Amino acid sequence: MKTARAAWRRLEPVHGMIYFVPEARRRYAELGLSARAGYFASRGAAFGQASAELVISTFYNFNPDLVRKALDGVWDTATPQQVLEARHAAASEALRRAGIHELPALDEILALARRAAEAACERAQGRPLFAAHAALPWPEEPVLQLWHAQTLLREFRGDGHVACLLSEGVGALESLILHAATGEVPVDFLKASRAWPEEEWADTEERLRKRGLLDGDSLSSEGVLLRRHIEDRTDRLALPAYAVLGDADCERLAELAGPFGRAVMDAGLLKLG
């Protein structure tokens, strides 16, 4: 389980950069979409003309009012296919800027990541955001194939994570605040990008303190245990994707993923904005 988590985490920058790079903002702007509208539309376009309510339910921790405003009129401006094409073009441009296409292990890591992603496709039940992306055709370009494979692995894990949050009674804003309390991501970025009203954020923090999950602005010991429990369950739910590789190939994927993730980081593709 630890090896599978390492493989996912180390390769995740290859997918995650699409939410930060200027190539994406430029491509969405060419379609007449703001960066915020482009984010929700591009990740939701696998559903087709995704409604705000569908995006709210599957993306989970965004302020619903933000999603409704961002998606208002989007599908009158651009079609889902146009948005998906823009997303793919941006991903290819950005990853090439990072030199992913020049790394010597591209073919090997692609073969492993694709095997894992295709194994996940056999377990799509109950994972709506993953299933929508799994129905998309595989790109022809190797760099984009790797990006698509990690996209599938990310959404497969993400849908499982949402299921864990729901089963533990952790709501959308509660999950965001508990994440902020870990210190892994700047709280100001999470507040700005998820756009929950400050008063609602403060009220939810107070409820979490009363539940014993927060100690000030940090996780309490009970909060740490809950977070660990949720992450461990999320890992277990993600295992079907990686089990097909076996221990040796999963370890190899984790080993190979390091240089690819670092290339993205070193190129500045994950700068928070």
Task: Please report, as a single letter, which amino acid is at residue 160.
Answer: G
Average pLDDT over residues 21-34: 98
The alpha carbon of 56 is separated from its chain's Cα centroid by a whole number of angstroms, namely: 14
Number of H helices, E strands in the chain: 15, 2
Residue 272 has pLDDT above 80, yes or no: no
Q: For residue 156, what pLDDT is reported?
A: 98
Q: Identify the pLDDT of residue 245.
A: 95
Instruction: Report the SS3 class of residue 271.
Output: coil
Retrieve residue 268's tokens.
């500045």
Residue 72 burial class via C-beta count within 10 angstroms: exposed 0-12, middle 13-18, buried 19 and up: exposed
Mean pLDDT value of segment 22-35 = 97
- Residue 1 pLDDT > 80: no
- pLDDT by residue (tens digit) across 195-207? 999 999 999 999 9
Distance CA 89, CA 27 (A): 8
| Residue from 84, 86, 98, 88 nearest 45 by CA | 84
What sections of the chain are H helices per DSSP? 2-16, 22-30, 35-44, 52-59, 64-71, 74-77, 80-97, 106-120, 128-134, 142-167, 172-180, 187-194, 198-210, 221-243, 246-266
Question: What integer best gives the mean pLDDT of the chain?
Answer: 96
66 within 8 A of 194, measured Cβ to Cβ: yes
pLDDT at 185: 87
The model's confidence at residue 273, banded by pLDDT at 50, 70 and 90, is: low
Chain segment 53-68, per-residue pLDDT in tens: 999 999 999 999 999 9
- The Cα–Cα gap between 86 and 56 comes to 22
Q: What is the pLDDT of residue 19?
A: 96
For residues 99 and 262, give the distance between their C-alpha atoms in angstroms, rounded to a whole number: 11
Which tens digit of pLDDT belongs to each residue from 133-154? 999 999 999 999 999 999 999 9
pLDDT band (50, 70, 90) for residue 219: very high
pLDDT value, residue 271: 82
**pLDDT at position 100:** 96
- Token pair 């129905």 is found at 135
Tens of pLDDT, residue by residue over 237-258, are 999 999 999 999 999 999 999 9
Per-domain residue ranges of the chain: 2-266
